Structure 1
Amino acid sequence: MTSGSDRVLERLMALHPKIIDLTLGRVERLLAGLGHPERRLPPVIHVAGTNGKGSVIATLRAGLEASGKRVHVYTSPHLARFHERIRLAGDLISEEALTAELEHCERVNGSEPITYFEITTVAAINAMARIPADYTLLEVGLGGRLDATNVIEKPALTVITPVSLDHQQYLGETLPEIAGEKAGIMKRDVPCIVGPQDDAALEEIEAQAARVGADLQVANQDWQVWEEHGRMAFQDQGGLVDLPMPRLIGAHQVSNAGIAIAALRQLGFEEETCAAAVTQAEWPARLQRLRKGPLVEAAQAHGAELWLDGGHNAAAGVALAEALGRLPARPLVMICGMLRTKDATAYLTPLAPHVKRLEAVSIPGEAATLSAHETTLAARSAGITAAEAASVQEAVVQAAAEWPGARILICGSLYLAGHVLRENG
């Protein structure tokens, strides 16, 4: 059944012909028409980067809420429902509130061109400005400098997670170009927490910080995080903190947790908040073990596990391979679907040593999906034995029957992950 917000979202898709068109003019016009709600937000923590943004925000939210703070959150894309993008003082936005905000923004915008992401971002900002809270966690959608979220004149803090090659058609072909776009969220006299970076990316971030007058707190220079004896150690100028390992799986999640801890420490929070942040964070479709639903039942019929991951670029493939290597040994069968805007071979190559077989699927309802055949070819070029499947359901049944007791991993795209979460209930 189509909801009121679904109908408005469908109309908003038609307002501007380009899916992505990076500029701030349209957003600034609409915010002015609404009376500048971006100036009435609770203190903003603005997060950019290529990988780890969502995990860092989830960890920040867990820590802040554990310390009794009310937190607004804006992230994208959603997995199962659009409402997941907007949390108001801890709770997902209601259907009524979402519909009302979208319709209000639609009326104020009139027939002026604006992209779907821009107008929905403005609706989120307007909704968050109406409700009292202690912090606003704001995730960049794409890039940073010209992203629709980059309208906060004086955030409390900015954060740049690891930068790697992704979205080159919009952000530039080289790492320094992409890092320069991400660094566009930095503001004068606002501290910026910088996660681990390649030298070329860090050099560009440091150059931009010098130009705008931002104070950097850089991983492995001003703070460090590492795993030691089954615990997580964090050190900065304030001292050494001994913490539990993150709830989220993988060495990259230790790094992501470190970024969040650096941010919390910058904001003045104590060790108790940091411990709650790493142990209570939840972030779906990041090497998530699925526990129930029809797809899980189909896997369990042959003693197989079912996992889900939404990573989709080369760096995500490296992180996923490392995390899989830490799990108890089982044969790994991947069910993979990807968008044609991604480099499928680069994503799959680091995973090749771990995979017994790959079942390739297309992503239902996505015009930009690679066909199952194209994904099969990419997998074979990465050195993975692969075949096509007509659907995720068919692939799960086939993989479980062929590899009893296997670990079945559905991966390659957040859009595929969202489809799986909806279909699996």
Structure 2
Amino acid sequence: MTEAALSEAGQEIDKLLALHPKGFDLSLDRITRLLGILGDPQRKLPPVIHVAGTNGKGSVTAFCRALLEAAGLGVHVHTSPHLVNWHERYRMGVRGGRGQLVDDAVFADAVRRVAAANDGQTITVFEILTAVTFLLFSEAPADAAIIEVGLGGRFDATNVIANPAVSVVMPISLDHQAYLGDRVELIAAEKAGIMKPGCPVVIGQQPFDAALDVLLSTAERLRCPTAAYGQDFQAHEEFGRLIYQDEFGLMDLPLPRLPGRHQYANAAAAIRAVRAAGFAVTEAMVEKAMVSVEWAGRLQRLSEGKLMMFAPNGAEIWVDGGHNPAAGEVIAETMATLEERQSRPLFLITGMINTKEPVGYFHAFAGLAEKVFTVPIRHSDAAIDPTALAVSAQEGGLEAEPQSSVVEALEAISALIEEHEKAPRILIGGSLYLVGDVLADNGTPPK
């Protein structure tokens, strides 16, 4: 979420941020008008995999990309938000190779062209950047495009795609209630808005039956060929391998490179989505994808970088941008699994913004984490004050102490750990904004 260097594209976006509101205004009127002026580039894309959900959007996007690239295909990928550089939102497909972040000059030119087409009309920066997505992806050859929803689904700016190859809806839970509603059924109805009549739908593992019912009924009403996790496809671990099964048969695969048991269901959704989108899926292709998949800032272990010198000797440092109670549960489960394999004291360094539910997030770590150090987030006006966040952590059942920075929190953990004690495991998270700051400060931005 921080622009590490003043790139040409970054300068153009800074100009837009000064002119237009930052954030979301859920409507399709402005984006439709703007795309019409640009010649409707959203109609000139390769087959689109459109992804919505509260949690798991980024992971299933990463798995879909890995699967298609393992087959030698060129894959455009749009994700949001970014962690360090705006360029991360646009990965351009390369046939026979790994997709590359958009070239800065190409990106800057697209931003200028979209801004000129908009001609100062009322619009949000997210809508402009979504139009940039369609312009970039329509002008460069590729075999597929994976487009991640920004917020919700029905009125998200990406939802101008009329005929997706497949619509994917990942786990739904409470988040962004101010925009989407305060019940999972209401949120599911918004996410289901990306489904289009007669177009294939894949539904990822759903923690709430009420949400699943809404998704299934919407897909049925729209006569969409539908595959739902647990009914039409599934995956589980067996003897250290990932077993995937659907109506096409069974595959015996390596465990995904992305850590956490929750990634088994995410990988399964990606396999089924790529098949539903009309691409051939072979076991060799899936094997390659499982060991090559990558997704920065989500249960990512830092093995090098500038911040390591402030941590205790031998410490494991993990970063994860998960920020709601459901994300807290799967992250805590992964930390507990690591604890089973190698016992280390767990410390949290956490920063959050005020649209989240911190107590529920912290509660997932009760009885697992030794202590929480709460920190500010530099690049967010909505960051929760560390002292207030520490109170929320205490309400969630954890010992907590505010610190003025991640570096100070790492030094505080070092002061707690005696040389004869086991080196700790440190999880830095609670916000993608915080993770972006950490990756920038560490000198390890996504590539």
Classify the TM-score, shorter chain: over 0.9
Deviation at 1:196, TM superposition (A): 1.2
Matched, 1:345 2:359: yes
Matched, 1:414 2:423: no
SS in 2 for 1:183: helix
SS in 1 for 2:129: helix
Q: How does 1:23-422 map to 2 (within 5 A)?
A: 23-89=27-93, 90-197=99-206, 198-266=208-276, 267=278, 268-300=280-312, 302-327=313-338, 328-404=342-418, 405-422=423-440
Counterparts of 2:69 and 2:124, CA distance in 1: 32
Partner amino acid for 2:438? V
Deviations 1:35-68 (A, max 9, x none): 0000111110000001011011111111111110
TM-score under structure 2 length normalisation: 0.93
Does the 8 A contact of 1:331 with 1:403 survive in 2? no
Counterparts of 1:125 and 1:397, CA distance in 2: 45
Deviation at 1:18, TM superposition (A): 5.9
Counterparts of 2:136 and 2:264, CA distance in 1: 33
Deviations 1:359-396 (A, max 9, x none): 00011121000010111000000110000101111111
Does the 8 A contact of 2:70 with 2:286 survive in 1? no
Moved more, 40-49 or 3-12: 3-12
Deviation at 1:409, TM superposition (A): 1.1
Deviation at 1:326, TM superposition (A): 1.0
Counterparts in 2 of 1:420 and 1:260: CA distance versus 1, 3 Å: same
Does the 8 A contact of 1:74 with 1:139 survive in 2? yes
Deviation at 1:4, TM superposition (A): 2.1
Does the 8 A contact of 2:379 with 2:433 survive in 1? no
Counterparts of 1:147 and 1:30, CA distance in 2: 15
Partner amino acid for 2:331? L
Does the 8 A contact of 1:400 with 1:408 survive in 2? no
SS in 1 for 2:365: helix
Does the 8 A contact of 1:15 with 1:113 survive in 2? no
SS in 1 for 2:84: coil
Partner amino acid for 1:238? F
SS in 1 for 2:372: strand
Deviations 1:149-172 (A, max 9, x none): 111111111111111110010011
- Structure 2 unaligned segments of length 5 or more: list them: 94-98
TM-score under structure 1 length normalisation: 0.98
Counterparts of 1:18 and 1:304, CA distance in 2: 38
Deviation at 1:276, TM superposition (A): 1.8
Deviation at 1:293, TM superposition (A): 1.2
Does the 8 A contact of 1:59 with 1:280 survive in 2? no
Counterparts of 1:276 and 1:309, CA distance in 2: 24
Counterparts of 1:365 and 1:248, CA distance in 2: 27
Moved more, 397-406 or 236-245: 397-406
SS in 2 for 1:353: coil
SS in 1 for 2:156: coil
* Cα RMSD, aligned residues only: 1.1
Counterparts of 2:354 and 2:26, CA distance in 1: 20
Counterparts of 1:49 and 1:278, CA distance in 2: 22
Counterparts of 1:348 and 1:215, CA distance in 2: 39
Deviation at 1:216, TM superposition (A): 1.2
- Structure 1 unaligned segments of length 5 or more: list them: none
Counterparts of 1:369 and 1:361, CA distance in 2: 9
Counterparts of 1:319 and 1:74, CA distance in 2: 24
Counterparts of 2:187 and 2:384, CA distance in 1: 24
Counterparts of 2:383 and 2:115, CA distance in 1: 29
Report the counterpart of residue 442 of structure 2 in structure 1: 424
Does the 8 A contact of 1:225 with 1:235 survive in 2? yes
Does the 8 A contact of 2:22 with 2:126 survive in 1? no
Query: Segments of 4+ in structure 1 off by > 3 A?
Result: 14-18
Deviations 1:92-111 (A, max 9, x none): 10110111000110101011
SS in 2 for 1:352: coil
Partner amino acid for 2:289? A
Partner amino acid for 2:242? M
Deviation at 1:403, TM superposition (A): 2.4
Moved more, 233-242 or 135-144: 233-242
Deviations 1:314-367 (A, max 9, x none): 110010111001112100110000000000001110111210011000111210
SS in 2 for 1:214: coil
Partner amino acid for 2:354? R
Deviation at 1:243, TM superposition (A): 0.8
